[in-house]
Amino acid sequence: MDFTKTKNELSQLIGEKKVILKNDGTMDESLFNSYGTDRTKVYPPNYQVLVFPESTEDVAATIAYAYQNEIAVVPSGGRTGYAGGAVAKNGEIVISLSKMNQVVDFDPFLGTLHVQAGMITKNLHKEAEERGFYFPVDFAATGSSHIGGNIATNAGGVRVVHYGLIRDWVLGLTVVNGKGEVYRFNGEILKNNTGYDLKHLFIGSEGTLGIITEAVVKLTKPPKDIRVIFLAVPEYKNILEIFRETHNFDLPLLAFEFLTDYCLDKVKEHLGVPDPFQAPSKYYVLMEFEVTGETDEEKLYSILESITEKELITDGSIAQNSRQNETFWKYREGISESLSLAYTVHKNDISLPLRNMEAFLDEMSSLLNQKYQGFHIALFGHIGDGNLHLNIVKPKDLTDADFFSQCKQVDPEMFTLIQKFKGSISAEHGIGLLKKDYLNFSRSQSEIDTMRAIKLAFDPKGILNPGKVL
């Protein structure tokens, strides 16, 4: 393919400074490559043309051109994904939304914010805050992830147990389909029962149905004050008991996270932080509550008292201020980084009905102990949502190739177990390239066939992020 021709023709359409050819002297090669990959690092990027649209019209013109010339395109957001959903490895045109990062409009009555898709999530948090509101979708990567990418992957994070997934916060979407046609779904209204809600198809579609260029998100009022409780829990089944007790408690439960002793050790090693408790424990739970005044602070003590009396924990501590909240959160939010910087890991991100979790964990432990002799398993996650991040850690004496090949053999057996317990093989991370071969463990053949039919309706030539999801 003549990529110089592609670059020149696209430049004609949307403006020269918005189109970059690899090694044309305007951008360092490794920076260029970084726009065509994500955090998986499994698939080396391989592409030549990078586009920085500045408007929905630019995106539409680019895709209309790609449609006419049958060239594939890959959307590029903050590239913080873990499933290879934003990888360009076959000479696609990469469309980075990063220059589309502005607020378009704001409605102070309901608190809705209309933004371009390339706005960094953390900046959206700030824009909401400056207007007296709060955008509750939050997770470790918000400093670089884009709101458009969050929507395209239906991001979750640490406060899903209270606020839900990003799907619950999207009112309107502007989307360009695989022919370069623009849809403007719903706008900013709360209620609109006029036919099929097509917007929801795009949420979580990982760029395979269209490229999200703008979004109207709902905001809410900020939590008054926040207090974290950190617990040492001796047995898994106690975690569920504690969840049941606190989920139905008076105070809003904003987060309910857990980690194992192995995860805590890795965070301590990596961040150099001290032991949070005097005696070690097999599990740790981090709970976050919204509190408004002194009466609420007293309630925190009554929760801790109640679960202590029931002998569900061996130790527990209530943060006394926001700095201590952050200290406690480090033990949870530092896990991914501590593991990925010091070790090679194979990530799984799964979800189960809470009531099946214990039986699943029993069977899974047997399976993993049998199959992965001598491997460490780092288990943590949003347990209040039934969501486990299950990381297999490569032993030092194994090559990467051998390690990943072993993982690839065990994965299907684990997915079979997940299917048996009615769970999902991808709770948050999506399918992308990484889980594509296993989609049938979570979706029936008729669902997959229907997805293909729907893909065809939006993207008749199959040029949108080809090879991902389906």
CB of 81 to a second copy, least distance (A): 11
User: Does 215 help bind a second copy (rule: CB under 8 A)?
Assistant: no
Max Cα distance, the chain (Å): 73
Per-residue buried b or exposed e for 157-170, using 16+ beta carbons within 10 Å of the residue's own CB: bbbbbbbebbeebb
Residue pair 108/218 in contact (Cβ under 8 Å)? The answer is: no
Give the Cα separation of 323 and 254 in Å (integer).
17
DSSP letter string, 405-466: HHHHHHHHHHHHHHHHTT-BSBSSS--TTTTGGGGGGTS-HHHHHHHHHHHHHH-TT--BST
User: Does 448 help bind a second copy (rule: CB under 8 A)?
Assistant: yes
CB of 400 to a second copy, least distance (A): 26
Q: Under 8 Å CB-to-CB from 284, ≥6 apart: which residues?
A: 230, 231, 232, 233, 258, 259, 260, 261, 264, 276, 331
Q: Under 8 Å CB-to-CB from 278, ≥6 apart: which residues?
A: 315
- What is the identity of the amino acid at 277? F
Task: Looking at residues 318 to 377 of the shown chain, list those that interact with a second copy (rule: CB under 8 A).
Answer: 351-355
CB of 390 to a second copy, least distance (A): 14
Q: Round the CA-based radius of gyration of the chain to a whole number and report it.
A: 23
Nearest CB to a second copy, comparing residues 40 and 424: 424
CB of 158 to a second copy, least distance (A): 13
Nearest CB to a second copy, comparing residues 16 and 197: 197
Nearest CB to a second copy, comparing residues 392 and 469: 469
Task: Looking at residues 129 to 148 of the shown chain, list those that interact with a second copy (rule: CB under 8 A).
Answer: 132
User: Does 260 help bind a second copy (rule: CB under 8 A)?
Assistant: no
CB of 256 to a second copy, least distance (A): 11
Structure tokens at 258: 């857990």
Nearest CB to a second copy, comparing residues 393 and 417: 417
- Antiparallel, parallel or unpaired: β 376-381 and 225-233: unpaired
Residue pair 217/109 in contact (Cβ under 8 Å)? The answer is: no
Task: Looking at residues 84 to 103 of the shown chain, list those that interact with a second copy (rule: CB under 8 A).
Answer: none
Task: Looking at residues 170 to 199 of the shown chain, list those that interact with a second copy (rule: CB under 8 A).
Answer: 181, 183-185, 187-198
Nearest CB to a second copy, comparing residues 278 and 445: 445
Task: Looking at residues 25 to 64 of the shown chain, list those that interact with a second copy (rule: CB under 8 A).
Answer: none
CB of 187 to a second copy, least distance (A): 5
Compose the 369-388 pattern: x for residues touching a second copy by CB under 8 A, - for all others. Answer: -------------x--xxx-
Nearest CB to a second copy, comparing residues 376 and 429: 429
